[in-house]
């Protein structure tokens, strides 16, 4: 349970405060309601490039990082298909520094051409380090366009083509900023050893003078229901054959999301899960196998991923998974199995709220999605799920025609 208070400034900025005086620290988290799903297909990777540019100096403050560090704070950011999230933790006494820095870069960036040139290079290196120079690093680059035909989730946050990053101009940067980085398209959460009154005062002082922007109306093409199974084969110099299957599931705050989440846990969370026990322990087809969901604000994916033992064919491994899923769909779960995954979900939730920063992020994520209170509703939603619900949703989700399968073959490695 995360307690909080919220208010909205006249310019539309939503502010949430979570008081916690058990720590001397404060966490400040800002979500901008923009991710790679908002990108133009010809300019992918822009939301993420932009995240880098946000550290290149703002209108009145030449550098972002140093002032944070000199008051004993740490900061970072991430971009997802749905949001761009900026966060700092710092000694609570120095929390005003965070208001000063964050409000100035919300007011306006410096738009320094050198910053664009350097960050463009850094992002291209990040692309290589994370996606090209790692075994299986390009997995999501292959998988997204297979699982999604229409929705912008079909490209990865880093972008679908590095050329898009190479082509970005300063005008693109400015347009993007004034379209998305406005107070009415953001949520600010301040958590830790701060009072609501103090946050109101600081928010009024630093953020209230920032003008609102045109309201952003999201118009993202939604993914049509998948009606036939899809399959792709690819290969690279990786050590083991890898098999990946994805299934469309409801959105993070949509009906039946938690059922889908628990289904993935039943199938492939930990060593007592069905896939692990059946296909790694009993019949050693796989060397590793897991199932999980990729939560997202538009409908997301359930993903089953396994590395095959040498000598096992993709077809045999695939068939074994399909058979297991069919059995699960037909026979459903048991009360004990459901109790197990509910306990696991409860524990995950409790542990995810141990860190102050996580509490701030979770609040911001829910508030940005539509309602801060959703952050406290997951526990109850999970608690009431019955075996019948699991089977009903399993029937919908684990249909063969809802599935995209990737065979990732290991080329014989020259080393």
112-141: contacts with another protein (CB under 8 A): 117-122, 125-126, 128-130, 132-135
Candidates 10, 315, 373, 377; binder of another protein (CB under 8 A) is 10
* CA–CA distance, 295 with 88 (Å, rounded to integer): 24
Closer residue to another protein, CB minimum distance, 23 or 391:
23
* CA–CA distance, 85 with 187 (Å, rounded to integer): 10
Helix, strand, or coil here: 375? helix
Answer yes or no whether residue 67 interacts with another protein by CB under 8 A: yes
Helix, strand, or coil here: 301? strand
| Sign for the pseudo-dihedral over CA of 80, 86, 91, 93 | negative
In angstroms, give the least distance from the CB of 271 to another protein.
4
In angstroms, give the least distance from the CB of 137 to another protein.
10
In angstroms, give the least distance from the CB of 123 to another protein.
8
Interface size with another protein, residues (CB under 8 A): 94
Question: In this structure, what token pair is assigned to residue 324?
Answer: 């297991």
Residue tagged 């400040």 (tokens): 28
Answer yes or no whether residue 208 interacts with another protein by CB under 8 A: yes
In angstroms, give the least distance from the CB of 66 to another protein.
5
Please identify, among the stretches 85-93, 244-252, 373-381, 395-403, the one whose residues bind another protein according to the rule CB under 8 A: 85-93
Q: Which of 8, 38, 2 is nearest to 297 (CA)?
A: 38
Answer yes or no whether residue 323 interacts with another protein by CB under 8 A: no
Closer residue to another protein, CB minimum distance, 154 or 359:
359
CA dihedral of 256, 227, 314, 316, whole degrees rounded to 10: 80
321 within 8 A of 243, measured Cβ to Cβ: yes
Answer yes or no whether residue 382 interacts with another protein by CB under 8 A: no
Please identify, among the stretches 17-25, 38-46, 174-182, 245-253, the one whose residues bind another protein according to the rule CB under 8 A: 17-25
286 within 8 A of 308, measured Cβ to Cβ: yes
* CA–CA distance, 240 with 300 (Å, rounded to integer): 27
Closer residue to another protein, CB minimum distance, 189 or 356:
356
Beta-bridge partners for 90? 26
* CA–CA distance, 263 with 110 (Å, rounded to integer): 48
Please identify, among the stretches 152-160, 351-359, 367-375, 399-407, the one whose residues bind another protein according to the rule CB under 8 A: 351-359
Backbone angles phi, psi at 18, to 5 degrees: -120, 105
Closer residue to another protein, CB minimum distance, 317 or 403:
317
Closer residue to another protein, CB minimum distance, 91 or 213:
91
Answer yes or no whether residue 335 interacts with another protein by CB under 8 A: no
Answer yes or no whether residue 383 interacts with another protein by CB under 8 A: no
Site for another protein in 280-319 (CB under 8 A): 280-281, 284, 287-288, 307, 309
Answer yes or no whether residue 235 interacts with another protein by CB under 8 A: no
Answer yes or no whether residue 89 interacts with another protein by CB under 8 A: yes
58 within 8 A of 73, measured Cβ to Cβ: no
Q: Please, which residues have CB within 8 angstroms of residue 128's CB and are 6 or more apart in sequence?
A: none
Helix, strand, or coil here: 44? coil
Closer residue to another protein, CB minimum distance, 293 or 403:
293
Closer residue to another protein, CB minimum distance, 46 or 148:
46
DSSP state of 221: P
Answer yes or no whether residue 333 interacts with another protein by CB under 8 A: no
Candidates 6, 12, 43, 93; binder of another protein (CB under 8 A) is 93
Closer residue to another protein, CB minimum distance, 96 or 223:
96
Helices (H), 110-237: 113-127, 139-147, 162-167, 170-180, 196-206
Answer yes or no whether residue 96 interacts with another protein by CB under 8 A: yes
Q: Which of 208, 133, 164, 143 is nearest to 50 (CA)?
A: 164
Please identify, among the stretches 38-46, 167-175, 218-226, 234-242, the one whose residues bind another protein according to the rule CB under 8 A: 234-242
């Amino acid at each position: 349970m995360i307690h909080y208070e919220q208010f909205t400034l006249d310019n539309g900025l939503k502010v949430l405060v979570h008081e916690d005086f058990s720590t001397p620290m404060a966490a400040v988290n800002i979500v901008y309601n923009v991710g790679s799903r908002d990108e133009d297909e010809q300019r992918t990777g822009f939301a993420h490039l932009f995240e880098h540019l946000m550290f290149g100096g703002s209108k009145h403050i030449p550098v972002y990082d140093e002032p944070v560090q000199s008051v004993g704070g740490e900061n970072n950011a991430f971009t997802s298909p749905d949001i761009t999230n900026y966060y700092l933790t710092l000694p609570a006494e120095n929390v005003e520094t965070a208001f000063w820095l964050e409000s100035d870069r919300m007011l306006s960036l410096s738009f320094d051409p050198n910053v664009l040139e350097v960050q463009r290079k850094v992002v291209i290196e990040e692309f290589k380090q994370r996606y090209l120079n790692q075994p299986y690093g390009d997995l999501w680059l292959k998988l997204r366009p297979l699982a999604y035909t229409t929705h912008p989730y079909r490209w990865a946050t880093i972008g679908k083509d590095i050329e898009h990053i190479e082509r970005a101009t300063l005008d693109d940067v400015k347009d993007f900023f004034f379209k998305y980085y406005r107070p009415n398209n953001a949520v600010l959460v301040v958590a830790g050893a701060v009072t609501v009154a103090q946050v109101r005062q600081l928010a009024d002082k630093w953020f209230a003078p920032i003008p609102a922007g045109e309201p952003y109306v999201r118009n993202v093409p939604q993914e049509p229901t998948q009606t036939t199974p899809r399959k792709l084969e690819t290969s690279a110099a990786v050590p083991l054959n890898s098999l990946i299957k994805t299934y469309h599931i409801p959105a993070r705050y949509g009906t039946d999301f938690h059922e889908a989440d628990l289904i993935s846990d039943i199938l492939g969370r930990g060593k007592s899960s069905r896939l692990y026990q059946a296909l790694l322990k009993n019949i050693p087809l796989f060397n590793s196998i897991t199932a999980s969901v990729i939560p997202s604000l538009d409908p997301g994916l359930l993903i089953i991923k396994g590395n095959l033992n040498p000598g096992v064919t993709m077809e045999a491994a695939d068939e074994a998974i399909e058979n297991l899923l069919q059995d699960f769909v037909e026979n459903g779960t048991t009360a004990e199995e459901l109790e197990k995954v509910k306990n696991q979900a409860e524990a995950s939730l409790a542990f995810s709220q141990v860190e102050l920063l996580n509490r701030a992020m979770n609040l911001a994520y829910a508030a940005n999605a539509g309602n801060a209170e959703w952050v406290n509703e997951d526990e109850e939603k999970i608690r009431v799920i019955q075996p019948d619900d699991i089977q009903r949703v399993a029937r919908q989700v684990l249909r063969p025609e809802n599935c995209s399968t990737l065979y990732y073959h290991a080329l014989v490695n020259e080393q």
